[in-house]
Amino acid sequence: MSEEKRNKHNISILDRTNIKITGVIDVISFDEEIIVSETELGILILKGLNFHINKLNLDSGDLEITGEIYSLVYEDKSSYGKPSGNILSKIFK
């Protein structure tokens, strides 16, 4: 998909339970407690409880989630997945 068709990356959180994200390229992994997605501005890691993906449209780059959000962390695409000291290795220790 060309860059012109993608939305800019934005995050909207309402009451820590409704999250709307634009500029999503891919969802790398998800479960009820963690969602890892690739966005236009890097890897986005959401931590919380009872996550549910209500809408995912990779053509438009839209992701809508409900659940209780505890944290949002960005990681550079270039460092994501490297074994030494990345955020995922710290999360799953």
Provide, rounded to the nearest whole percent, the portion of the chain with pLDDT above 70: 76
Residues 61-88 pLDDT 10s: 999 999 999 999 999 877 666 555 555 6
CATH number of 3-91: 2.60.40.2000
User: Quick one: pLDDT at residue 85?
Assistant: 57
User: Quick one: pLDDT at residue 2?
Assistant: 47
Return the domain boundaries, the chain: 3-91
Q: Which of 15-19, 54-58, 86-90 has the lowest mean pLDDT?
A: 86-90
User: Quick one: pLDDT at residue 19?
Assistant: 98
Find where tokens 């996550």 sit: 51
User: Quick one: pLDDT at residue 76?
Assistant: 84
